[in-house]
Chains A and B, each alone.
Chain A
Amino acid sequence: MDRRYKQANREAILSLILTFIYLFAWFIGAYCVGSGAGFFGLPLWFELSTICAPIGFILICWVVVKYQFKLISLD
């Protein structure tokens, strides 16, 4: 098999894993925290699941794309 396909498959699996990590963080933040007050005056569950989780997700994406995704020729 073309070596490029191996790398492409790896990247597809990584994308799926990242999405599940986000799903997990989103879920824990939303349903497992209770209704205390958060840092900005909004409920804590809300700040964790809709502010912290997406920011964390973007950071992890950035790291993974930078170090795990490879520059391969598409032609």
Chain B
Amino acid sequence: MQTYRIDIILPLIIYLFLVFALSIYAYMKRKKTEQFTDYFIGNRTMGGFLLAMTLVATYISASSFIGGPGAAYQYGLGWVLLSMIQVPTVLLSLGILGKKFAILARKYNAITLSDMLYAQYKSRLIVWLASLTIVVAFIGAMTVQFVGGARLLEVSVGIPYEIGLLIFGIGTVIYTAFGGFRAGILNDAFQGLVMIIGAILLLVATIYVGGGIPAIVTRLHEINPALLTPQGPDNFMDLPFMVSFWVLVCFGVVGLPHTAVRCMAYKDSKAVHRGIIIGTIVITVIMFTMHLAGVFGRAIIQDDLSSPDGVVPLLMIRVLPPIAAGIFLAAPLAAIMSTINAQLLQVSSVIIKDLYVSMRPNKVHDDKKLTRLSIFITTLFGALLIFAAWKPPYMIIWLNLLAFGGLEAVFLWPLVLGLYWKNANATGALSAMLAGAISYTLLAIYNIKLCQFHAIIPSLLIGFVVFIVANYIGNHIGNYTKSRISNRCKQSVVNVIN
């Protein structure tokens, strides 16, 4: 048993070592001037391949490698169908935010989402609300990622939860804090490759051990014919469920802040074009192979699983030779690390740029000092998250459920309408953000389903309507006060002349 474990752990150690080497390389390569911009968006130098990989790696998290295949194990081929909803996400986020977003980001010299929102709407209140949403949502999201990484090490190689959390957590925080965005995207590219290789390895090995596709399909049919239907057992994946996912994991993704920030960091038009094609291929391959492996795993693993989340680690040890298992284990860890990296940098950029710097607009800021402060904040925040993941409070797990949809409900309309609707104003954006946040939170907490749809659909609809109405009112009042002020001015001028 002991030697078996070392076989698995060895590739993992090599993997972590490579991650550190890449971060050190990025740290050395960073520019001596404009360190601050470099730390958070790498001075907009990303090419097509890196752009594709970083988008995919940021987007694919623990859920695609652990939770998703677990659900596929339980619900069959219908869940693979569901996962393929995510195929257009790269095209959508790069295409919709697109070049206009990149051009404006350069024009305003923006490095965070709040910078962009401020440039569009000229409202400090919006920046405060945006910052608050990002920090709260990402605390939940990241803690769960840390918990996921530590659990994975516990289940697959038997490292105790706390020790796993420390090794994995400290490693991730250090490489994020010191390497910044540049180390982030380099590692994303590397981790993306690891994910592709790992996912394909697992699917091929699963088909091989299961005795070929026809044998597996026959076996699945014996277990439950519903596993082979798009609806799944007990009609679980009905149409409203699927429609909800189309909004939540496809159209809504455009509004995620850590996706949006990548849309302002690429080098040129060519980078976007290549990014769209490569990114779409990579996300399709990973989603398809991982979820299909989960379904096929049902034909191999018939044990009573306490939780379907254990399927992937179990499958990995059952079907792969030890060294390959080690490489595969690196894949979900890679997914988790790159997601934490992106979100952690988002949070510290919000704290430094949007809160700290904007509170002292008159002070001249020393570039070097700000960068050092950013490294400090990133480390501190990371340490807090590891502490939170030690014994994760119930509320944090619950925050994570809110995070993904909540961010979309808050940011989608202000971002998209701000870009493409020239009448959009601050009143509209602010009201839509508040309405989205409140309606999503309430619907999700009380688990209210309107026409069986997920909370994201009504809250986006409410957000949209509120935006339009408040926008109209804002324009109206704005014009009214403006004309009143100008009338008064005219009058006073007339008075002075008289």
Contacts and interface: CB of A to CB of B under 8 A. Distances in A.
B497 to A, nearest CB: 40
Given A26-B85, A74-B106, A19 B230 contact: no
B246 A57 contact: no
A40 B217 CA distance: 11
B100 A65 contact: no
A24 to B, nearest CB: 12
A55 B322 CA distance: 33
Contacts of A41: 212-214, 217
A9 B97 CA distance: 9
B246 A23 contact: yes
Interface stretch (B88-96, B172-180, B187-195): B88-96
Interface centre among B84, B92, B251, B280 (most CB of A within 10 A): B84
B99 A11 contact: yes
A22 B88 contact: yes
B98 interface: yes
Contact of B269 (A22, A66, A74): A74
Contacts of B87: 22, 54, 57
B77 A43 contact: yes
Nearest to B93: A15
Interface stretch (B197-205, B270-278, B369-377): B270-278
A70 to B, nearest CB: 7
A71 B284 contact: no
A74 B103 contact: yes
SS of A interface (majority): helix
A11 B284 contact: no
Name B's interface SS. Answer: helix
Interface in B198-254: 212-214, 217, 228-230, 246, 250-251
A46 B77 CA distance: 7
A12 B421 CA distance: 13
B163 to A, nearest CB: 39
Contacts of B94: 15
B276 A61 contact: yes
Interface in A1-23: 2, 4-5, 7-9, 11-12, 14-16, 18-19, 22-23
The listed residue with most B CB atoms (<10 A of its CB), out of A7, A45, A61, is A61
Nearest to A70: B269
B420 interface: yes
Given A57-B88, A65-B273, A70-B269, A12 B95 contact: yes
Interface in B34-62: none
B277 A65 contact: yes
B455 interface: no
Interface string B151-173: 00000000000000000000000
Interface of B: 77, 80-81, 84-85, 87-88, 91-92, 94-96, 98-100, 102-103, 106, 212-214, 217, 228-230, 246, 250-251, 268-270, 272-273, 276-277, 280-281, 284, 288, 420
7 contacts: A2-B103, A12-B95, A15-B96, A26-B84, A42-B217, A50-B84, A54-B87
